[in-house]
């Protein structure tokens, strides 16, 4: 009996130890936070700096974007235009669009509006006419501009989306995933012009045909307009964004918020009014409360653990390498040491010049960030080459200016001499050397003498 009692006691003690060990292990690396939800069909919140997906629902399902597509339109325009350029509105830009799509400022064919004003009308008032006019201004046609849009998202790395017009209006060939749209928005907000315009709450537009005195417009995004913390739409740090709606897309929303040194972007697809604002706010608050960013450069030991590393067959001393300034995003209670690190020597397309490898980080198989490793000697070489090319270009310009200066340096007399010694035929200037001038003078003199004697002889015959 005593023996059996000891056996049972030992069993329960062992079981308790195993359970306790399991609890300790789970506390050592907690699960990814997931205690939030949205009503919309699809949505996502990402950390803009690390690219980490903090929360997602149906994030890879293609859905119509509606007017949040205008963020991409604004980005392409900002990359190809000066803000003071004037945009002329064609008949097609104003009238060739889906019936019932609206014209909130009564823009008209023949209107001439600056790119600056057009972008504010595009992002604050969601003007479809401005989307069309800007597309024509940049690319010559909407079709050509759409090609630029799709080329841009390919550069960003989006493979689940396709655009068919610059306004976001319904088209069976126009769709985005929440995942792609988050990274499109991140790229747009990295552009200073797009960020400035899309964070403007109120703006005054200049004169138009139907608004000769100009017009005041306001942002339609209710989270951005909520200044009272008691409002159901208020979200601390909300900075910029875009709304969208069509009968097919439902309500769509992009919101960018910043708190301290953290930057988050939320996307809501196929939501409903006004719940889609609550959805966007909810996942932003979740992202800020449940996660943190850690500096890779400050905490990573990879560069200090070894004297050299082999990359693609080349041994690099660590003194020659530097680590990118980047972050990983972790659950709030996790540690940097909980992240799993992988050295990647095959770099993605479009990687920065001077980069030779990349450290990639995961947490429970989720990507949470990456940092490029740079070859400082290669960077110096590239910088020297760029400086040399710039100096060579500057030198060529100076030489051209010097040659022009030499031609004009002799003053009016020299200019008159050049004019007397040259003549123009079409677009070319032909200079005559002194010996040619002597020969030409002799020929002209002979011709004159012959003419004189011929005329004199004819007069004598008449007499």
Domain harbouring 146, CATH code: 3.40.710.10
**Are 148 and 247 in the same domain?**
yes
pLDDT value, residue 426: 39
pLDDT value, residue 204: 97
Show which of 379, 408, 439 is a domain's final residue.
Answer: 379
**Are 171 and 315 in the same domain?**
no
Residue 76 and residue 194: Cα distance in Å, rounded? 10
22-36, 248-262, 270-284, 397-411: least confident range: 397-411
The chain-wide mean pLDDT, for the chain, equals 85
**Are 153 and 250 in the same domain?**
yes
pLDDT value, residue 415: 40
Name every residue whose Cβ is closer than 8 Å to that of residue 307 and which is 6 or more positions away in sequence.
317, 318
pTM: 0.79
Tokens of residue 23, six digits: 């609890």
Residue 157 lies in a domain: yes
Residue 242 and residue 127: Cα distance in Å, rounded? 12
pLDDT value, residue 396: 65
Is the per-residue pLDDT at 170 higher than 90?
yes
pLDDT value, residue 427: 40
Is the per-residue pLDDT at 397 higher than 90?
no
**Are 309 and 285 in the same domain?**
no
Q: Which of 286, 262, 283, 117 is nearest to 204 (CA)?
A: 117
Name every residue whose Cβ is closer than 8 Å to that of residue 173 and which is 6 or more positions away in sequence.
162, 164
**Are 73 and 178 in the same domain?**
yes
How many domains are there within the chain?
A: 3
83-97, 143-157, 296-310, 436-450: least confident range: 436-450
Residue 395 lies in a domain: no
**Are 277 and 318 in the same domain?**
no
pLDDT digits (tens, 9 = 90+) for 431-462: 445 555 544 555 565 555 545 445 444 444 44
* Residue 119 domain boundaries: 42-291
Q: What is the mean pLDDT of residues 309-330?
A: 92
Question: Using 50, 70 and 90 to split pLDDT, how confident is the model at 406?
Answer: low
Q: Which of 114, 95, 136 is nearest to 204 (CA)?
A: 114
**Are 179 and 219 in the same domain?**
yes
**Are 251 and 113 in the same domain?**
yes
**Are 114 and 203 in the same domain?**
yes
**Are 287 and 308 in the same domain?**
no
Residue 36 lies in a domain: no
pLDDT digits (tens, 9 = 90+) for 130-168: 999 999 999 999 999 999 999 999 999 999 999 999 999
How many other β-carbons are positioned within 10 Å of the β-carbon of residue 89? Answer: 25
Give the sign of the dihedral formed by CA 65, CA 68, CA 73, CA 76.
negative
pLDDT value, residue 164: 98
> What share of the chain has pLDDT > 70, as a percent?
79
Q: Which of 246, 227, 242, 249 is nearest to 176 (CA)?
A: 249
pLDDT value, residue 160: 98
Show which of 266, 291, 316 is a domain's final residue.
Answer: 291
Q: In 222-352, which ranges are continuous DSSP H helix?
A: 222-225, 275-290, 296-299
**Are 179 and 312 in the same domain?**
no
pLDDT value, residue 296: 95
**Are 111 and 210 in the same domain?**
yes
Residue 394 lies in a domain: no
Q: Which of 225, 224, 202, 226 is nearest to 215 (CA)?
A: 202
Residue 421 lies in a domain: no
pLDDT digits (tens, 9 = 90+) for 12-58: 444 444 434 333 233 467 899 999 999 999 999 999 999 999 999 99
Question: Using 50, 70 and 90 to split pLDDT, how confident is the model at 350?
Answer: confident
pLDDT digits (tens, 9 = 90+) for 410-419: 554 444 444 4
pLDDT value, residue 403: 63
74-83, 137-146, 393-402: least confident range: 393-402
pLDDT value, residue 459: 45
């Amino acid at each position: 009996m005593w023996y059996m009692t000891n056996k049972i006691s030992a069993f329960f003690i062992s079981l308790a130890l195993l359970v306790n060990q399991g609890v300790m292990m789970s506390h050592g690396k907690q699960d990814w936070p997931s205690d939030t939800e949205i009503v919309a069909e699809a949505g996502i919140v990402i950390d803009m700096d690390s690219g980490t997906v903090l929360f997602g629902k149906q994030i890879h399902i293609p859905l119509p974007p509606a007017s949040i597509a205008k963020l991409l339109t604004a980005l392409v325009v900002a990359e190809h235009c000066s803000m003071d350029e004037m945009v002329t509105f064609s008949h097609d830009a104003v009238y060739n669009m889906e019936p019932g799509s609206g014209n909130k400022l009564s823009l008209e064919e023949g209107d001439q509006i600056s790119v600056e004003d057009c972008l504010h009308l595009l992002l604050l008032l969601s003007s479809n006419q401005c989307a069309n006019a800007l597309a024509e201004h940049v690319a010559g046609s909407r079709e050509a501009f759409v090609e630029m849009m799709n080329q841009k998202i390919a550069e960003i790395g989006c493979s689940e989306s396709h655009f068919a017009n610059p306004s976001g209006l319904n088209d069976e060939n126009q769709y985005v995933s929440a995942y792609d749209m988050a990274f499109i928005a991140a790229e747009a907000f990295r552009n200073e012009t797009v960020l400035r315009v899309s964070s403007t709450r109120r703006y005054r537009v200049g004169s138009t045909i139907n608004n000769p005195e100009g017009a005041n417009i306001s942002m339609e995004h209710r989270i951005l307009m909520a200044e009272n913390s008691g409002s159901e739409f208020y979200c601390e740090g909300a900075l910029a964004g875009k709304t969208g709606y069509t009968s097919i897309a439902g309500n769509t929303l992009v919101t960018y918020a910043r708190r301290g040194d953290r930057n988050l972007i939320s996307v809501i697809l196929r939501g409903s009014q006004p719940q889609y604002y609550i959805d966007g706010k909810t996942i932003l608050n979740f992202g800020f409360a449940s996660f943190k960013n850690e500096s890779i450069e400050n905490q990573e030991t990879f560069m200090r653990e070894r004297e050299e590393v082999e990359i693609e067959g080349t041994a690099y001393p660590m003194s020659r390498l530097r680590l990118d300034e980047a972050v990983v995003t972790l659950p709030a209670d996790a540690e940097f040491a909980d992240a799993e690190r992988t050295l990647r020597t095959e770099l993605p397309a479009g990687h920065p010049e001077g980069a030779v490898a990349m450290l990639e980080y995961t947490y429970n198989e989720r990507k949470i960030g990456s940092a490029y490793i740079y070859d400082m000697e290669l960077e110096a070489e590239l910088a020297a080459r760029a400086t040399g090319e710039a100096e060579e270009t500057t030198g060529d310009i100076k030489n051209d200016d010097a040659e022009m200066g030499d031609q004009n340096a002799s003053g009016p007399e020299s200019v008159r001499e050049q004019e007397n010694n040259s003549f123009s035929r079409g677009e070319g200037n032909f200079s005559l050397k002194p010996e040619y001038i002597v020969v030409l003078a002799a020929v002209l003199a002979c011709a004159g003498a012959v003419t004189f004697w011929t005329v004199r002889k004819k007069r004598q015959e008449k007499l």
